[in-house]
Amino acid sequence: MIKAQRQRPVEAPEVASYPDLRWFPPGTHITVRGLKKAFDGNPVYVGFDIDLPKGRIVSVFGPNGCGKSTFINMVAGLLPIDDGQILFEGKTIADTRIGYVFQNYREALFPWLRAVDNIHYPLRLMGIPKAERDRRIEELVAGFDLKFDLHRYPYQMSGGQQQTVSIMRSLVIEPEVLFLDEPFSALDYEMTLIMRDQLQKVLVARGVTTVLVSHDLEEAVYLADKVLMLTRRPSRIADYMDVDLPRPRDPSTLTDPRFIELKARTLEVFQNAVRAS
Amino acid sequence: MQSARFSRYAWMAVGPLALFLVWYAVHLAGLVTPKLLPSPVRTLQSVWTHTVSGGLGPDFGRTLWRTLQAFGIAAAFGVPIGIVIGASEKLYRSIEFLIDFFRSTPATAMFPLFMIIFGLGDFSKIAVAAFAAWLVVLFNVAYGVMNARQTRILAAKVMGASRARIFKDVMFYECLPQTFVGLRTAVSLALVVIVVAEMFIGSDDGLGKRIIDSQITFDLPQLYGTILVSGILGYGLNLIFLGLEKWLVHWSGRA
Ligand SMILES: Nc1ncnc2c1ncn2[C@@H]1O[C@H](COP(=O)(O)OP(=O)(O)OP(=O)(O)O)[C@@H](O)[C@H]1O
Ligand SMILES: [Mg+2]
């Protein structure tokens, strides 16, 4: 089980007093420097550096057990890091509003609350009054084309509906960064296709910086502005590829020659990365 | 739908009716001497006359009241302490053996000790029952807290919930299904211990006392009748708790 910890062993950003612009290339949101993590002496990250762009979607892809979940959990502040620094435009996670969507929606929503109250919950934690909460939720709902009733309990809903509620719950606080760990892997293919387009629409409209872990190469490329490919552990960057396909992407994108080319390239990188180690 | 429901209830009545008929048949055929097995009709008549004459009702009430007092004490101390114990794995490990040991110790073995400590009055009966029921509540609540879904706690944490909020908004609900299992078991156990205590720790009233008296005076219709009434009490309490559980923990087993 992941032991969550909000405080991380990172010193207060010295960077703030000595501005070092090399660390903040324009358009960068999240900077990861010298990240180290080991479980029981087995290293997963041994000095990992990466920049994640602001307002863009980055997919993280790699072999099983290479440390994808570990990576986003550390960046999201759910897992303490051994060493290194993770900053969000110079701020720490504590000063950053984030949303997190878990793979296992059944265990992430609160079954004792109706779907709509699940979405209210993070706003209640922020102490926002009811009228304002209702207004924000109404606005959020308008961005999704919901075909189901939010006044039901999660266990009365299908998997796709539950995960939609999870995504809404994570977006309602207008997060600066959204993390999703294999959000669709428990859904069937048809639902996955619908959910991808739904997610793309909302994320692009809101321009939220997104880190998405996917074990599905097609999905990773389809949704992303950049695909981060990891090697076997200890994880290194196998490739960090731009996906220059126009948006909005739709199912016809899947047969676009450029898409097929990009997918073939990622597959090749993946196979090399797996074979190499 | 209507007829489906009717047939459900009809089927549920088959077992009790069959038992009644078998009992009656055994009685009529004289397979067992009527001294040991009065007819079911005589038994029900006895329940009726004792209810009307006014003796059975108060005894029923006394036993129920003692059971509820014991249960109340058990719940009031069991739930909070169970949460505290369940929240700390180290604390739980360190007293796991004690809880298991005393849970396995027959509560009836504690009677003399409790009589010495609390005297012969009502409170010593209630105290033994409360002690036994308390351990059941404690164990189940602690277990529920320990088995809370980590993902839900993480979800609350990532939304910025403080430790106190996580306890109040997540932990409490997460352990509620298991808590109810504990409460239901506890109330049944409290009833058992109270009835036994009424039999053997001198008592002026209660179903246990009535059962022992029927045995001494060899009033078998009353003995069977009182057993039946004790069963109704136990079954009723269980039914009430099941209903409460279904209403308050509507997500139990579904999420
Ligand atoms: N809490 C933990 N304790 C010990 N080892 C862990 C822990 N969490 C992860 N690991 C190990 O670290 C490595 C990376 O795990 P992680 O869950 O990040 O992989 P992943 O890339 O998300 O895999 P998957 O594709 O299966 O989701 C794995 O080898 C895993 O066994
Ligand atoms: Mg994973």
**B244 within 8 A of B236, measured Cβ to Cβ:** no
CA–CA distance, A186 with B223 (Å, rounded to integer): 59
**Min CA distance, A107 vs chain B (Å)?**
6
Q: What percent of chain B shows pLDDT beyond 70?
A: 99
What is the A68 CA–ligand 2 centroid distance (Å)?
6
> Ligand 1 in contact with A185 (CB < 6 A)?
no
**Min CA distance, B164 vs chain A (Å)?**
12
Residue B22, pLDDT above cutoff 70:
yes
Q: Which residue has the higher pLDDT, A275 or A257?
A: A257
Residue A6, pLDDT above cutoff 90:
no
Model confidence at B30, pLDDT cuts 50, 70, 90, reads: confident
Q: What percent of chain B shows pLDDT beyond 90?
A: 67
Q: Averaged over B11-26, what is the pLDDT?
A: 90
**Angle, CA of B209, B214 and B217, to the nearest 5°:** 125
Ligand 1 atom at minimum distance from A40 CA: 4
Per-residue pLDDT tens for A153-162?
999 999 889 9
Q: Averaged over B141-152, what is the pLDDT?
A: 91
The per-residue pLDDT for A5 is 46
The answer for residues whose C-beta is within 8 angstroms of residue B203's C-beta and 6 or more apart is B125, B197, B209
Q: Which residues of chain B lie closer than 8 angstroms to A112, CB-CB?
A: 173, 176, 250-251
* Bond preceding residue A248 cis, omega within 30 of 0: yes
Q: What percent of chain A shows pLDDT beyond 70?
A: 90
Q: What percent of chain A shows pLDDT beyond 90?
A: 69
Model confidence at B204, pLDDT cuts 50, 70, 90, reads: confident
**A6 within 8 A of A19, measured Cβ to Cβ:** no
> Ligand 1 in contact with A110 (CB < 6 A)?
no
> What tokens were used for B119?
């005297």
Q: What is the mean pLDDT of chain A?
A: 88
B251·A77 Cβ contact <8 A: no
Name which of B152, B157, B159, B247 to mutate to probe chain A: the one with the most chain A Cβ atoms within 10 A of its Cβ. Answer: B159
Model confidence at A2, pLDDT cuts 50, 70, 90, reads: very low
Model confidence at A17, pLDDT cuts 50, 70, 90, reads: low
ipTM > 0.95 (yes/no): no
Per-residue pLDDT tens for A161-184?
999 999 999 999 999 999 999 999
Q: Which residues of chain A lie closer than 8 angstroms to B176, CB-CB?
A: 112
The answer for residues whose C-beta is within 8 angstroms of residue A202's C-beta and 6 or more apart is A143, A144, A167, A171
The per-residue pLDDT for A4 is 45
**Min CA distance, B150 vs chain A (Å)?**
7
Comparing CB atoms, the residue among B149, B165, B169 nearest residue A107 is B149
The per-residue pLDDT for B208 is 94
> What tokens were used for B187?
């109330």
Residue B253, pLDDT above cutoff 90:
no
